[in-house]
Structure 1
Amino acid sequence: MEGLNVMMKAANEKGIFDGVHIPNTNISLSHLFYADDALFIGDWSKKNVYNLSRILRCFYVVSGLKVNFNKSRVFGIGVDFEEVCEWAGPLGCAPSSLPFTYLGVPVGENMNKKKAWKPIVDKFRSKLSMWKAKTLSLSGRMTLAKAVLGNLPTFYLSLFSAPIRIIEELENIQRQFIWRGDAEKATVHWVAWEKLKAPKQVGGAGLGSLRNLNLALLAKWWWKFKTRPDSFWARIVMGFHNPANRPWFCFAKHNRGGVWSCIDKAKNGLWKLNIDVKEIMNTNDGGLSWRSDFVVDGVFSVARLRNRLDRASHLICDGDFWWLNSVPKKVVNFIWRAKQGRIPSAEALRKRNIQVPSTMCGICEHVEESMDHILTSCSLARNVITMVLKWCNVLPQFFSGVNEVLDFARNWGHCPKKKELLTCIIYGTLWSLWKARNDRIFKEESSKPAKILDYIKTSIFTWRKYRSSSGDIVDWDKWCCAPLNCT
């Protein structure tokens, strides 16, 4: 393709092929090449059509490489389709009309229409299908939903501002996948969608907002535009929009359409979140610099800006929660839900009009089964927690709720490592109590406190040994005697 590139440049310079002149610049755009894909751009004239045919024929004679005209199309902008059909003859290509797709990007399409986003919606739906949801745990579904959100649509979202109805449809697919529901089957959504999307810093699950991802990806083009003004594409943008004669925070003329105007309008999305462009960029002595908060090793960080947008758009705060990496995701997700009172206890199911055989605790059979009762107040829970604290050489405590026991572990002692380890042990304890409750109800298996304690010791020892970055726990005998001394 390099040989064809040289031929097209020479033809453009000598007037054999007239490219499109970019206003306010000396650029004449005649072609765009990427790998083996070629896009020829020029004035609509018979001279260009016939000379392009001759150039391609000469290229074939010289190199032996022939353009596949069966896969090629001719487009005429602002001309009748009959004329396009007539002029496509000399090139041997089929005539066509806008819109079309080039390198996976729609060209000439109205991106405000729902049909323009159908490829992304279809891919979302195929990746987050219901049969996959049935084979994954909640934490697995959340991980997959977050991965699909972060990777699949970025090509589109980095160029176009997605309409609100498209954002809502994509997030609805995510929501149904996470809770294993569909349009025909109602399911319980145990946690509000806004809490799932909210950042972990404000008490959410950190799934992230698709709209904020869109804004952050578009904002990165501002950084590229201001830091690479001599690049070919930036010079073309300058020619059309002439930002030199405009305020520093204006990147496009509002009376022009196209992709760049769409990128410029991302500022409106920031302003709706009460974020000024000046929070992203600084002006010093008439110059422009980017705030270090959003630049890592000289490269603009989409993740950091997205996190800032997520924190601005989600003001939910249920208190700080410790997302420990040394604890399996299914366990830490369960503890996060329990902290908010969002686990399927008999009491919670009854409140949602779901029929259960009995709302009494399946273990003690004396009190209605609430979340706090299962995990802290039941006789089994009290005995297990007392044994766990004794094992850790911590004075026994009486807890009346999940939040109380979590706060105790988080604020205990002064050593950060011991505090983290005790929190990990409490997470494992609450998870083991929930598992024992399920075994009692669904398998009719009863567990003794000593057996549950042995399970807790083994499980957390395994977590710390294979999941902890420090790998500090190696001696089983020391672990069984005094776990907090193993840090």
Structure 2
Amino acid sequence: MGWLSHSICNANEVGNWSPIRLIRDGPLLSHLFFADDLILFGHADNNQAWVMNDILDEFCDYLGHQINMQKTNIFFSKSVDDSLGRRISGFFGFQEVTNFGHYLGVPLLHDKYTNNTLRFVVDKVHSKLTSWDARQLSFVGKVTLAQSILLSIPSYFVQAMMVPKGVCDKIECIVRKFVWGFHNGSSKMTLVSWDSVCQPKPYGGLDLRQLKDYKTPFMMNIGFNIISNVNALWIQVLWSKYSP
């Protein structure tokens, strides 16, 4: 990946590669790498397609690999003409998509987060719950599973987005029903309030954490990075769009 990044940077310096800006006066974007995944950015024109294709061919020849066409997609902005988009996607042989889908469980392109947007998180928790036979578990076993698995599933999403209160309430409702159990198809009566259950053990609780308590520290961490790590690319993009 280092060789590919170096080739793209060289193409930028000589003016062959045309990077894009997500925001007017924002930083230039030509490529993003994460592990073995990458996104290439460029203007939608025939010359740029040839430049990208030549660099990718050199990269594949250098490593002796081939691009997986089934796992590679091409995405155009709304301002690109449909006929031009079809020609470029046909030139590369990549499938044209209108959405990048999810990466590490998080949607890459989305509007404002709503309860429906994050419905998949609730469904993920519910599917995990239904895969266990709660009748075979003791109360301690249910609490342990709820603490280690059920409440850990949404924690990743909370780190990357502001999860609506309605989604948190639905997930905690699923966890409460799982912990207290069912009788004849109906939820058993809760013996103590959920706030008491989520208290630390020295204070009489079971040390379960409420999802609303997850959100605040993660959002504070993002805010701290925005203020302190101003040289990071993603922070430069945010500053160029939202800073006064």
Q: Structure 2, unaligned stretches of length 5 or more?
A: none
Asked whether the 8 Å contact 1:99–1:108 carries over to 2, the reply is yes
Which residue number corresponds to residue 235 of structure 2?
234
The AA in structure 2 aligned to 1:19 is: P
Q: Shift of residue 108 of structure 1?
A: 1.2
Which residue number corresponds to residue 171 of structure 2?
170
Once the two structures are superposed, residues 181-202 of structure 1 have per-residue CA deviations (whole angstroms, 9 ceiling, x without a partner) of: 3894232221222322345576
Which residue number corresponds to residue 18 of structure 1?
18
Once the two structures are superposed, residues 231-259 of structure 1 have per-residue CA deviations (whole angstroms, 9 ceiling, x without a partner) of: 333233222223xx5xxxxxxxxxxxxxx
Asked whether the 8 Å contact 1:8–1:30 carries over to 2, the reply is yes
The AA in structure 1 aligned to 2:172 is: E
Considering only aligned residues, what root-mean-square deviation do their CA atoms show, in Å? 2.6
Asked whether the 8 Å contact 1:85–1:94 carries over to 2, the reply is no
The AA in structure 2 aligned to 1:131 is: W
Asked whether the 8 Å contact 1:129–1:177 carries over to 2, the reply is no
Asked whether the 8 Å contact 1:20–1:42 carries over to 2, the reply is yes
Q: Shift of residue 24 of structure 1?
A: 4.5
Q: Structure 1, unaligned stretches of length 5 or more?
A: 246-487
Gap change, CA 1:150 and 1:130, over 3 Å in 2: closer
Once the two structures are superposed, residues 387-440 of structure 1 have per-residue CA deviations (whole angstroms, 9 ceiling, x without a partner) of: xxxxxxxxxxxxxxxxxxxxxxxxxxxxxxxxxxxxxxxxxxxxxxxxxxxxxx
Which residue number corresponds to residue 190 of structure 1?
191
Residue 63 (structure 1) aligned with residue 63 (structure 2): yes
Which residue number corresponds to residue 126 of structure 2?
125
Asked whether the 8 Å contact 2:181–2:187 carries over to 1, the reply is no
Q: Shift of residue 77 of structure 1?
A: 1.8
| CA distance in structure 2 between the partners assigned to 1:183 and 1:3 by the alignment | 63
SS in 2 for 1:151: coil
| CA distance in structure 1 between the partners assigned to 2:231 and 2:164 by the alignment | 32
| CA distance in structure 2 between the partners assigned to 1:88 and 1:41 by the alignment | 14
Deviates more, 1:158-167 or 1:74-83: 74-83
| CA distance in structure 2 between the partners assigned to 1:102 and 1:39 by the alignment | 12
Q: Shift of residue 217 of structure 1?
A: 1.4
Once the two structures are superposed, residues 160-179 of structure 1 have per-residue CA deviations (whole angstroms, 9 ceiling, x without a partner) of: 11122211211111011101
| CA distance in structure 2 between the partners assigned to 1:104 and 1:16 by the alignment | 35
Identity among equivalent positions (%) equals 25
Which residue number corresponds to residue 223 of structure 1?
224
| CA distance in structure 2 between the partners assigned to 1:31 and 1:104 by the alignment | 21
Q: Shift of residue 58 of structure 1?
A: 2.1
Which residue number corresponds to residue 253 of structure 1?
none
TM-score (structure 2 length as normaliser):
0.86
Which residue number corresponds to residue 37 of structure 1?
37
Q: Shift of residue 203 of structure 1?
A: 5.1
TM-score (structure 1 length as normaliser):
0.45
Q: Shift of residue 220 of structure 1?
A: 1.0
The AA in structure 2 aligned to 1:210 is: L
| CA distance in structure 2 between the partners assigned to 1:172 and 1:219 by the alignment | 26
SS in 1 for 2:186: coil
Asked whether the 8 Å contact 1:149–1:210 carries over to 2, the reply is no
1:334-483 alignment to 2 at 5 Å?
Answer: none
| CA distance in structure 1 between the partners assigned to 2:43 and 2:200 by the alignment | 51
The AA in structure 2 aligned to 1:120 is: V
Q: Shift of residue 81 of structure 1?
A: 7.9
The AA in structure 1 aligned to 2:95 is: A
Gap change, CA 1:186 and 1:102, over 3 Å in 2: closer
Q: Which has the larger radius of gyration?
A: 1
1:104-183 alignment to 2 at 5 Å?
Answer: 104-110=105-111, 112-129=113-130, 131-181=132-182
Q: Shift of residue 128 of structure 1?
A: 2.7
| CA distance in structure 2 between the partners assigned to 1:200 and 1:39 by the alignment | 46
Which residue number corresponds to residue 205 of structure 1?
206
Once the two structures are superposed, residues 305-326 of structure 1 have per-residue CA deviations (whole angstroms, 9 ceiling, x without a partner) of: xxxxxxxxxxxxxxxxxxxxxx
The AA in structure 1 aligned to 2:124 is: K
Which residue number corresponds to residue 87 of structure 1?
88
Which residue number corresponds to residue 72 of structure 1?
72
The AA in structure 2 aligned to 1:55 is: I
Asked whether the 8 Å contact 1:31–1:40 carries over to 2, the reply is yes
| CA distance in structure 1 between the partners assigned to 2:159 and 2:213 by the alignment | 12
| CA distance in structure 1 between the partners assigned to 2:228 and 2:207 by the alignment | 31
| CA distance in structure 2 between the partners assigned to 1:210 and 1:231 by the alignment | 29
Gap change, CA 1:233 and 1:130, over 3 Å in 2: closer
SS in 2 for 1:116: coil
Asked whether the 8 Å contact 1:176–1:182 carries over to 2, the reply is no
Once the two structures are superposed, residues 89-147 of structure 1 have per-residue CA deviations (whole angstroms, 9 ceiling, x without a partner) of: 11110111025223432111235344432432233123333734222221221122122
Q: Shift of residue 9 of structure 1?
A: 1.3
Gap change, CA 1:152 and 1:123, over 3 Å in 2: same
Gap change, CA 1:210 and 1:183, over 3 Å in 2: farther
The AA in structure 1 aligned to 2:16 is: I
Gap change, CA 1:179 and 1:236, over 3 Å in 2: same
1:266-281 alignment to 2 at 5 Å?
Answer: none
SS in 2 for 1:3: helix
Gap change, CA 1:12 and 1:62, over 3 Å in 2: same
Gap change, CA 1:130 and 1:65, over 3 Å in 2: closer
How many residues align structurally? Answer: 242
Gap change, CA 1:155 and 1:41, over 3 Å in 2: farther
